[in-house]
Amino acid sequence: MTKAGKLPTTEKRNPKSASVDTLSTQEIVDLIGAEDMVVPQAVATQRKEIAAAVDMIVERFRAGGRLFYVGAGTSGRLGVLDASECPPTFGVSPSLVQGIIAGGRRALVRSIEGAEDYPEDGAAAIDARRVGAKDVVVGLAACGMTPFVHGALQRARRIGAGTIFVTCAPEAVGSIPAEIVINPVVGPEVITGSTRMKAGTATKLVLNTLTTTAMIRLGKVYGNLMVDLKAVNNKLRDRSVRIVADVTGLSKPRARTLLARAEGRVKAALVMHFRGVPLARALEILKENGELLRPAIAESIESA
């Protein structure tokens, strides 16, 4: 129950699926699909809150801060997933975006439900990561009540860190210890309380938007190309070549040669090409322009 004594939306029964066990396979699939359709609209209602959260994250990143997701169960796993995908996609350090899950690493692959019940463990997890005033902590709890997450957020607020909370339970909003609350209300689940379904999907959409938008604002994207990716496998190496070829108009073999001179750094390779400079100078130009590629090469493109 929430502090107000109301059953959170995520725990209520969905009348549309009250007899789901009597339906045919096709009818069950159609019902789940119809319920999933409400998720994007619910997330869209939180557009202003999501934008405010991104601005907070970007401001803290620029000040040298980090982003921490804190959750339990499905929510915790989604936070760890989003954090783990930022380094290869945007070329950032693994320490910039981190996921904290109740129960630790084992909870990523095996359910440890009781781990979420202790707020002091959430606070201890914040202390263990040495969270400071420059950082942002995002609490993730579909029901809005998870003690581990509340303990982490309360400790983060006392430290002076920025605090954000993502929940699908409107009943919990008034008791959440965060500066910004993102509350996509997706309604009761097809299977009562199974927040790995609509609530999990909504959380994933929100987290995608938070980090992707923040990274765009930080200059990790040029047009819609991930120019700061880390080419750690063949697929990403091929993508790096295609990005350089697309932006410069070079053939793939020449783009590959340019990338080799840039030590695999896509953004630096583009500056080298458009400014006609060696790698060291290209890196200096990027630093002078706040690591933003567009202003770093703007004059060269305009005069071409």
Residue 6 is given by DSSP the state: P
Return the closest-CA partner of residue 97 out of 219, 265, 214: 214
85 labelled catalytic: yes
Nearest to 88 by CA among 205, 231, 225: 231
For residues 43 and 202, the answer to whether their CB atoms sit within 8 Å is: yes
Instruction: Name the residue among 264, 253, 252, 257 with its Cα closest to residue 227.
Output: 264
Residue from 11, 116, 171, 189 carrying the catalytic annotation: 116
- Exposure class string for 20-43: b at 16+ Cβ within 10 A, else e: eeeeeeeeeeebbeebeebbeebb
Distances in whole angstroms, Cα of residue 302 to Cα of each of 15, 275, 298: 60, 12, 6
Report the run of H or E that residue 126 belongs to, with start and end. helix 119-128
- 3-state SS of 134-159 is CCEEEEECCCCCCHHHHHHHHHHHHH
Element (H, E) at 58: helix 47-62
- DSSP 3-state of 169: coil
From the list 85, 113, 288, 291, the catalytic residue is 85
CA gap 167, 258 in Å, rounded: 46
Question: Apex CA 65: angle with CA 61 and CA 70, to 5°?
Answer: 105
Active site residues: 85, 116
